[in-house]
Amino acid sequence: MQIRDAVIVVTGGASGIGRAMARRFAADGAGSVIVADLNAEGATTVADELAAAGVGSRGVGLDVTDPDAVAAFIDASEAEFGPIDLWCGNAGIGANGGVELADEIWDANWNVNVMAHVIASRILVPHWIERGGGHLLLTASAAGLLTNLGTAPYAVTKHACVGLAEWIAITYGEKGVGVSCLCPQGVRTPMTEADGELAIEVVKAMGMIEPEDVADAVATGLANDDFLILPHPEVSTYEQRRAGDRGRWITGMQKLRATLPGA
């Protein structure tokens, strides 16, 4: 995936990883970077920054779980900037707790962390097949390869996100559709600012990196056409250990959980 001159969309782009990716794409010579977020004001602020640097940009308030809104957004973006080359599905949410959480919370996590990608892919994948190319970057999490203590909806839906990315890559890869799945561990973003919550304490204990570090890893991964983009390289080792002996992995995670605040 070549960033230079590409038309790129970043959802969840008002802050954190999304904002860092938008800035990095602009610095790497993207033709246009469209910033979408439920926080319309934040998206506009980032887009104005990119436009001031000479990059075509627009900030849009967008609910990624609304099929009609997403379709209208894609149509408007392509009418203004041209065909979308790279869609970064980065919007995501979490929830502290487990199976006791209400259905509405589980549904919200499912809709944002999984169905939003399905909604966008329904539109973009046929376009890319017809045009002969396009790239999908889905922000999952190391939680989608391993797990995340303290937040069942997040861990479960991020596993589903990884599974969806794999399925799209397998099904449409030979038709010109590139897919990358971003799986960071702890990143210093608004989502990880709270103290005392088990899910947050886990990622803090494992070491936090900055959103700009993630954006650097994304730039390298896209240039290499990597499927898995791992800003924390140790996640690959953890995943292999988990697959090699699932029972031992679960026992180890139980012991880790017992040592953390909030357990």
For residue 15, give both structure tokens: 């802050």
147 touches 193 (CB < 8 A):
no
For residue 22, give both structure tokens: 């938008």
Q: How far is CA 147 from CA 62, 182, 203, in A?
A: 29, 15, 11
* Residue 154: active-site member: yes
The closest alpha carbon to 144, from 197, 185, 173, 175, belongs to: 185
* CB atoms inside a 10 Å sphere around CB 38: 17
Q: d(Cα 209, Cα 221) in Å, to the nearest integer?
A: 17
Residue type, 148: N
Q: d(Cα 220, Cα 66) in Å, to the nearest integer?
A: 31
The closest alpha carbon to 13, from 45, 36, 38, 39, belongs to: 36
Q: How many residues does the chain have?
A: 263
The single residue of 73, 87, 128, 154 carrying the catalytic annotation is: 154
Residue type, 209: I
Catalogue the active-site residues. 154
